[in-house]
């Protein structure tokens, strides 16, 4: 492989990894002032520089919401949607629920097998199951980082996670979020994520 092609592939990996890390940050932990400030800066820049028209449109809507909403409102929405076990608005964000209708289903076994085949394990700092949205996004970022070493097997694993896990799960979550009249930010985060995943799928064509 030529040096120029290696540089090009490294640049693509950097961009792809950046978007997976950005999307993971929306869902992984409770928002704080530093994180929300980072979102505002990055999403605002993407309103004019996104790699696809759909992603740019999603970034513009998300940027407007981030500018309008106070930190406490964002934190409250996150808690009610993703962490309050008694909330009637609680969103299911595991592939097992989206496909099998229950947590700890066959999709969890499948993703654990895929991770084992690539020599990966869930990091101890993560409490969510391996088929949850934040862990799947983290897994994609790690596989992209390791792509040059893993070769074709790593690329195949990425495509499987994208098509069999992330795209169906995000569509499932998006339907739930769009049906919640009180959710203002996270439906837009899900739109942004879905636009990114659909664009990233073109990488494998």
**Domains of the chain, CATH where assigned:** 3-204 (1.10.3480.10)
Is the CA virtual torsion 23, 24, 25, 28 positive or negative? positive
User: Looking at residue 205, what is its pLDDT?
Assistant: 78
Distance CA 93, CA 166 (A): 10
Name the stretches of the chain with pLDDT < 50.
none
| Length, in residues, of the chain | 205
> How many other CB atoms are found less than 10 A from the CB of residue 5?
9
Find the largest Cα–Cα distance for the chain.
56
Q: 3-class SS at 149?
A: helix
User: Looking at residue 38, what is its pLDDT?
Assistant: 97
User: Looking at residue 99, what is its pLDDT?
Assistant: 79
Is the CA virtual torsion 149, 9, 131, 159 positive or negative? negative
Q: 3-state DSSP: the chain helix, strand, coil percent, rounded to 5?
A: 75, 0, 25
Q: 3-class SS at 43?
A: helix
Instruction: Count CA atoms closer than 13 A to 25's CA, side-chain side.
Output: 18
Fill in the DSSP letter of residue 101.
Answer: S
User: Looking at residue 90, what is its pLDDT?
Assistant: 94
User: Looking at residue 121, what is its pLDDT?
Assistant: 85
User: Looking at residue 112, what is its pLDDT?
Assistant: 94
Query: Strands, E, within the chain: which ranges?
Result: none
State the DSSP H helix or E strand holding residue 100, giving kind and residue range, or none if neither.
helix 95-100
CA distances from 201 to 11, 159, 204 (A): 17, 8, 6
User: Looking at residue 100, what is its pLDDT?
Assistant: 80
User: Looking at residue 1, what is its pLDDT?
Assistant: 59
């Amino acid at each position: 492989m030529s040096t120029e092609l290696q540089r090009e592939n490294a640049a693509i990996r950097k961009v792809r990894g950046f978007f997976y890390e950005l999307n993971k940050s929306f869902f992984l932990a409770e928002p704080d002032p530093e994180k929300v400030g980072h979102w505002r800066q990055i999403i605002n820049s993407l309103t004019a520089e996104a790699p696809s028209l759909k992603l740019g449109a999603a970034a513009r809507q998300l940027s407007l919401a981030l500018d309008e909403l106070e930190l406490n409102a964002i934190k409250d929405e996150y808690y009610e949607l993703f962490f309050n076990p008694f909330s009637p608005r609680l969103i299911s964000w595991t592939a097992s629920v989206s496909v099998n209708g229950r947590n700890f289903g066959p999709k969890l076994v499948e993703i654990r097998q895929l991770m084992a085949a690539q020599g990966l394990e869930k990091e101890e700092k993560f409490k969510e199951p391996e088929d949850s949205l934040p862990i799947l996004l983290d897994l994609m970022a790690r596989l992209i980082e390791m792509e040059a070493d893993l070769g074709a097997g790593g690329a195949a694993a990425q495509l499987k996670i994208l098509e069999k896990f992330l795209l169906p799960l995000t569509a499932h979550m998006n339907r739930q979020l769009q049906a919640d009249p009180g959710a203002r930010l996270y439906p837009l985060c899900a739109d942004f994520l879905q636009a990114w995943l659909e664009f990233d799928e073109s990488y494998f064509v």
